[in-house]
């Protein structure tokens, strides 16, 4: 008998394929899993990028609201409220959907911080600012000048240095080959929220009432533990927060992946 549905929300520059290993583990535990691609994030867009074709121009028109609308449509296909599992940017989308009471629980894996969470994107020191995820993200986005009205091709060296440093080389090659372009608008709305007067990444924290599990790698250089701890503080009494030793940002395929899977499965089995 199935335990219920789990909808998995992927992050920037990737697709639902990142959850392949986790889906197998959860399916073995009796869950029905669904890992849809965000709009214009499917395999055909990875092939397009690999062949040197420009990103689909329609991607540049999309922002967080469009991504959220697409995932709401996926939830509507299910029988009842699912559990959400969101990784990175998907962790931000999961918070926004949970605050709209569209799930019964959520797991946030290395989540991007919502609008106004000062412990998230903003650095704690000039040294952190010079080498941290904020400046690396800005370096990626400003390579071609303005970025918020463009579809951005993936920067594979940046992905290697910051997101995939803990992956073994064979899995790095496979992941790099599957990267897809990303919406500059969605990145602007999530990484530079203090400049977004429309507050597209805002979450109504008090409206999020379901149980949360927040997991982050101790060595995460994209959404570091300081950021994820700041997120957890906005959900007192609702969030369980844990750091995973020896893990970075990508998580899937890293050496301590079994611990990640076990943490997720054990927490899910304890849900009412």
**How does residue 191 score in pLDDT terms, banded at 50, 70 and 90?**
confident
Model confidence at 52, pLDDT cuts 50, 70, 90, reads: confident
- pLDDT at residue 121 is higher than 50: no
Average pLDDT over residues 11-21: 97
Look at residue 138 and tell me whether its pLDDT is greater than 90.
no
Q: Residue 111 and residue 114: Cα distance in Å, rounded? A: 9
Predicted TM-score (pTM) of the model is: 0.92
pLDDT band, residue 127 (cuts 50/70/90): very low
Q: What is the mean pLDDT of residues 151-156?
A: 92
- What pLDDT does residue 146 have? 66
The whole-number average pLDDT for the span 233-260 is 97
Which domains does the chain show, CATH number per domain? Answer: 4-269 (3.40.50.1820)
Closest to 180 in 3D by CA, of 149, 223, 142, 151: 151
**pLDDT tens by residue, 66-108:** 999 999 999 999 999 999 999 999 999 999 999 999 999 999 9
Q: What is the mean pLDDT of residues 248-257?
A: 97
Question: Which of 163, 152, 161 shows the shortest CA–CA distance to 186?
Answer: 152
Going by C-alpha positions, the residue among 231, 235, 212, 211 that lies closest to residue 223 is 231
Assign 56 to helix, strand or coil. coil
pLDDT confidence tier of residue 143, bands split at 50, 70 and 90: low
Burial classification of residue 26, based on how many CB atoms lie within 10 Å of its CB (0-12 exposed, 13-18 middle, 19 or more buried): buried
What's 41's DSSP letter? Answer: -
The band of 122, judged by pLDDT with boundaries at 50, 70 and 90, is very low
Say which range, 20-29, 144-153, 246-255, has the weakest mean pLDDT.
144-153
- Residue 192: what pLDDT? 83
> What 3-state class would DSSP assign to 73?
helix
């Amino acid at each position: 008998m199935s335990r219920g549905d789990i909808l998995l929300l992927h992050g920037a520059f990737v697709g639902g394929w990142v959850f392949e290993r986790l889906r197998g583990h959860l399916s073995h535990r009796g869950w029905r899993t669904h890992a849809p691609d965000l709009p214009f994030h499917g395999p055909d867009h990875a092939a397009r990028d690999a062949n040197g074709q420009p990103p689909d121009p329609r991607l540049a028109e999309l922002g967080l609201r469009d991504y959220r609308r697409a995932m709401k449509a996926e939830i509507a296909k299910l029988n009842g409220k699912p559990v959400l599992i969101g990784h990175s940017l998907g962790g931000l989308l999961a918070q926004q959907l949970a605050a709209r009471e569209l799930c019964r629980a959520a797991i946030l894996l290395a989540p991007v911080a919502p609008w106004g969470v000062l412990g998230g994107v903003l650095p704690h020191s000039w040294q952190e600012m010079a080498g941290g995820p904020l400046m690396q993200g800005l370096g990626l986005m400003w390579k071609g000048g303005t970025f918020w009205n463009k579809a951005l091709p993936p920067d594979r060296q940046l992905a290697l240095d910051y997101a995939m440093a803990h992956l073994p080389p064979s899995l790095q090659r496979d992941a790099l080959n599957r990267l897809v372009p990303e919406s500059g608008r969605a990145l602007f709305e999530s990484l530079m929220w203090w400049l977004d007067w429309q507050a597209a990444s805002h979450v109504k924290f008090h409206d999020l009432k379901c149980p949360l599990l927040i997991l982050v790698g101790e060595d995460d250089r994209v959404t570091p533990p300081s950021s994820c701890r700041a997120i957890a503080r906005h959900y007192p009494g609702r969030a369980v927060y844990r750091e995973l030793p020896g893990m970075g940002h990508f998580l899937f395929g890293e050496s301590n992946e079994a611990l990640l899977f076990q943490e997720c499965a054990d927490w899910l089995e304890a849900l009412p």
